[in-house]
Chain A
Amino acid sequence: MKPRRQCELGGAPTKKSVVEGVSIMVSANPVILEMRSITKEFPGVKALSEVSITVRASEIHSICGENGAGKSTLMKVLSGVYPFGSYDGEIVFQNSVCEFKDIRASENAGIVIIHQELALIPELSITENIFLGNEPTKFGVINWAEARLRTMELMARVGLNEDPDTPVKEIGVGKQQLVEIAKALNKSVKLLILDEPTAALNESDSQHLLDLIRGLKSKGISCIMISHKLNEIEQVSDSITIIRDGKSIETLDVKADGVDEDRIIRGMVGRTLESRFPDHTPTIGEVFFEVKNWTVAHPQIADRLVCKNSNFNVRRGEIVGIAGLMGAGRTELARSIFGRSYGNYISGQIIKDGKEITLRNVPQAIKHGLGYVTEDRKTLGLNLLDDIKTTTVSANLGAISKNTVVDRDKEFSVAERYRKQLRTKAPSVEEGVAKLSGGNQQKVVLAKWMFTDPDLLILDEPTRGIDVGAKYEIYGIIQALANQGKGVIVISSELPELLGISDRIYTIFEGAITGVLDKNQASQETLMKRMTAATKSA
């Protein structure tokens, strides 16, 4: 019985959409969700103060704000993570006041949230994941045939072409995101909340996802999207609510108000950002770091090369960009150079200051003046149990210790110096890093590597998950490092960022370096062409 009901519900919006499709034109869609003066307090902090948003049916509504502005808190209130009673204000969904006591309650009402960190179980198949906790049963026995069949339908709806029995860990992040959406559709969702849906996706996967959201909209499913990628927001949103410091500042009608990225940023930071990148006149010296014929195999699959015969160099005082799609081998290249911390080294040379060096492990790499800031701050970059001072000195303990005994005064003053210099926002250097915002965490990580006094600092996605204001500061730090005569390599998925910060940009595709462009020759188009070059030639 139950499965059939689900199918009907899944199909129902299609009929409805005809009616609603018309009403979009007159832009008077009925209101589907209203959150009225939501106030949420944590001990000592007012995370949300009288925030109101209104979402209409068949609309993509984006919520913009800097990190810590309260976007995620608001979504947690809406989805019942913070149950009714733990906040003040009113939630009206489909004309009835809702008092969700947990996530299940909001899901039953048709509100499904997809978190940035996907809630899929890697070992289970697509089908098992989609029906997890919601398995079609007959006398308590799961009807897998039924589940599989419906998975195929759902996959067709989200444009996913995979065997439904494939374990989720074997498909890419982009496809995993689609599985999450299929899972939501299976719960007959009316309002889909996406928290940073494209943060981990490459350009084409992001585009597919955004198209899908648009498709869902035309089928009557509303969507609330949180994203730092303002170009995407501008591209797909019907309206945008801007939240700053826990207050709803304004709601912009994208079509009517002629909203562009600058307009959104102005709302988010409360001022006009003249430029997204600090001015910088590089003083570039000679080549001091060179990688030749670098070839590395995948750590598990011996005949798969993640770096193919790569050559590149870095000059003193230069910021070198590395552009490539996700999975092109950027991180693999960086980490294999940084003390072979990834993959199996096959061949290649590293030449620093005219001499060939061999970096067999991370301590050797650090000793030779290399630093690597990972793209995955939380799982690879930080010990979240540590405080700022322990983190700051953790890559160069030798400098603050004598006969292995740590000088805690020195530790404190070093950490304090970097906190002031990088303007890390924290009550003291004894604050736990887990409590800091993404931007401040990144500053602590940068401080950690600055304290090792590297000659070459490799930054892998240095501004991922960081808000606009903090990005500007991070760029300033990168430029200051280059001014000291250090070489900096910046790996990024965001081409505008690379174009804004780099002096020279290498492009990489399927593990091979496909070109190098000077700052003044490079544009998004020329880079993108080289980042996908091999596909066209193949």
Chain B
Amino acid sequence: MNIIKQLFSGNSRQFGMIFALVALVVFFQVRTDGLILTPDNVINLMNGYSYILVLAIGMVLVIIAGHIDLSVGSVAAFVGIVVALAMRDWGLPWYLGIIAGLALGAAIGAWQGFFVAYVGIPAFIVTLAGMLLFRGANQLFGDSLTIPVPKEFQAIGAGYLPEIGPNTGYNNLTLLIGILGVVALVWGEFRGRRKAVSLGSDVKPVWVPIFKVVVFAAVILYVTYLFATGRPGTSFPIPGIILGVLVLIYGFISSRTTIGRHVYAVGGNRHAAALSGVKSKRTDFMVMLNMSMLAGLAGMIFVARANASGPSDGVGWELDAIAAVFIGGAAVTGGVGTVMGSMIGGLVMAVLNNGLQLLGVGSDWTQIIKGLVLLAAVVFDVYNKSQGKASFIGFMMKKLGGNNNPDLEVAEPLKGTIKTEA
């Protein structure tokens, strides 16, 4: 019991979610006789969900700030069609197409952000209007037809890392990324620990970080191995790289910069933030602008993967992104949530979808199960908060006679999903 407590105290919430994700993967791995952890399947998974995860990055910031964005699917579709048309009819090169798409997304975000921040209309309404407006605009511009995109452009949605260097039997660049990941993990963990020691705060016994690092490094290396050993010509996909870079950037912005602090402050208590000198309107504006820009990017990734932009791209994406964020531990009332958490929340949904598909479960049951998981996650979160009770793990430990750990008082929604699976 002590071991678990040592491992999970402190950052319990994120570990809980990772734990749930691992449990899900193991469950499907057993039930599908190993179909889920094959190179082809993980590459597929990454390709098929990267654009939803890109949306979830923007969405978590919107939700932390206390808003919501329902328009992302339509915005993605609209940007997709405009970029496809611009490249086909005006002969725009692919890189200018991407820049134009991001700019258009930002412009749409500025439009929506203006109404949310400076006119004071609830984001729910503004983006509901945007959802209709940009869906219509997509169909108007594209005549409800499918517009193909050039080959170079398709790389951002369907490309892979090239083969370079000596023939090792693996994709070298993928291996390199995996190794860099492990180095970063080790360096981060022990740097944090050294700092904690120098600041005189309590640190856990040395085996805890070592254990953590070994486990996570093993996971990273295993996933690297999977990505590096796919069919010839495949490797770690480009959309995965885009996603990874965005996660690093936005993870850093949200947790380590004043901009991130302002987003959390505005979502946590708008009035207190304003009276502390935070420009809350500007924060709202920027968060909405950023969301639509990322929606534009997600739309382009999808179009590139599908080779063409169509009238029904992006339908229902907003709901997938919002679900990922809430499963990832964000609070409906704002002020709570992390980029990393949302990524894990998104992966939980992705693995569920994928695993159920592999099991041959129909889309009827898949939707029912996904709905229940989302509900269970949020119910668990809300219940924990209202009761001021310990987390699922804390609760289990209490039942097993362990001491209640005050560190574990934060709600951990994802642990609820383990319960539904078990």
Chain B residue at minimal CB-CB distance from A386? B268
List, in ascending order, chain A residues with CB within 8 A of B257's CB: 401, 404-406
Q: Quick check: A406 and B261 within 8 Å, CB to CB?
A: yes
Most B Cβ at <10 Å: residue of A365, A397, A408: A397
Whether, in the assembled complex, A374 has its beta carbon less than 8 Å from a beta carbon of chain B, the answer is yes
List, in ascending order, chain A residues with CB within 8 A of B259's CB: 404
Interface size class of A (residues with CB under 8 A): 20 to 34
CA distance A341 to B335 in the complex (A): 22
Q: Quick check: B276 and A362 within 8 Å, CB to CB?
A: yes
Interface set, chain B 251-293, CB cutoff 8 A to A: 256-259, 261, 264-265, 268-269, 271-279
Whether, in the assembled complex, A93 has its beta carbon less than 8 Å from a beta carbon of chain B, the answer is no
Q: Quick check: B269 and A382 within 8 Å, CB to CB?
A: yes
List, in ascending order, chain B residues with CB within 8 A of A406's CB: 256-258, 261
Kindly provide the distance from the CB of B404 to the nearest chain A CB, expressed in whole angstroms.
4
List, in ascending order, chain A residues with CB within 8 A of B265's CB: 383, 386, 394
List, in ascending order, chain B residues with CB within 8 A of A428's CB: 201
Q: Quick check: B276 and A448 within 8 Å, CB to CB?
A: yes
Whether, in the assembled complex, B336 has its beta carbon less than 8 Å from a beta carbon of chain A, the answer is yes
Render A426-454 as a binary contact track against B, CB cut-off 8 A, 1 for contact. 00100000000000000000001000000
Whether, in the assembled complex, A520 has its beta carbon less than 8 Å from a beta carbon of chain B, the answer is no
Q: Quick check: A341 and B276 within 8 Å, CB to CB?
A: no
Render B77-114 as a binary contact track against A, CB cut-off 8 A, 1 for contact. 00000000000000000000000000000000000000
Kindly provide the distance from the CB of A336 to the nearest chain B CB, expressed in whole angstroms.
13
Q: Quick check: B404 and A43 within 8 Å, CB to CB?
A: yes
Interface set, chain A 337-394, CB cutoff 8 A to B: 338, 341, 361-363, 365-366, 372, 374, 379-386, 390, 394
Chain B residue at minimal CB-CB distance from A411? B261
Q: Quick check: B406 and A384 within 8 Å, CB to CB?
A: no
Whether, in the assembled complex, A413 has its beta carbon less than 8 Å from a beta carbon of chain B, the answer is yes
Whether, in the assembled complex, B206 has its beta carbon less than 8 Å from a beta carbon of chain A, the answer is no
CA distance A386 to B262 in the complex (A): 12
Whether, in the assembled complex, A254 has its beta carbon less than 8 Å from a beta carbon of chain B, the answer is no
Q: Quick check: B199 and A409 within 8 Å, CB to CB?
A: yes
Q: Quick check: A384 and B277 within 8 Å, CB to CB?
A: no
Kindly provide the distance from the CB of B130 to the nearest chain A CB, expressed in whole angstroms.
29
Q: Quick check: B277 and A385 within 8 Å, CB to CB?
A: no
Whether, in the assembled complex, B390 has its beta carbon less than 8 Å from a beta carbon of chain A, the answer is yes
Q: Quick check: B195 and A380 within 8 Å, CB to CB?
A: no
Whether, in the assembled complex, A133 has its beta carbon less than 8 Å from a beta carbon of chain B, the answer is no
Interface set, chain B 208-266, CB cutoff 8 A to A: 256-259, 261, 264-265
Given contacts A384-B268, A394-B261, A409-B195, contact A341 B256 (CB under 8 A): no
CA distance A365 to B264 in the complex (A): 22
List, in ascending order, chain B residues with CB within 8 A of A43's CB: 390, 398, 404, 406
List, in ascending order, chain B residues with CB within 8 A of A408's CB: 256
Kindly provide the distance from the CB of A86 to the nearest chain B CB, expressed in whole angstroms.
12
Given contacts A43-B404, A383-B335, contact A372 B275 (CB under 8 A): yes
Kindly provide the distance from the CB of A441 to the nearest chain B CB, expressed in whole angstroms.
12
The 6 closest A-B pairs by CB, nearest first: A383-B268, A43-B404, A383-B269, A395-B276, A385-B268, A363-B277
16 residue pairs of the A-B complex, CB under 8 angstroms, read A44-B406, A341-B275, A363-B277, A366-B277, A372-B275, A379-B269, A380-B269, A382-B272, A383-B273, A384-B268, A386-B264, A394-B276, A398-B258, A404-B259, A405-B257, A408-B256
A residues engaging B (CB < 8 A)? 43-44, 338, 341, 361-363, 365-366, 372, 374, 379-386, 390, 394-395, 397-398, 401, 404-406, 408-409, 412-413, 428, 448
B residues engaging A (CB < 8 A)? 195, 199, 201, 256-259, 261, 264-265, 268-269, 271-279, 335-336, 390, 398, 404, 406
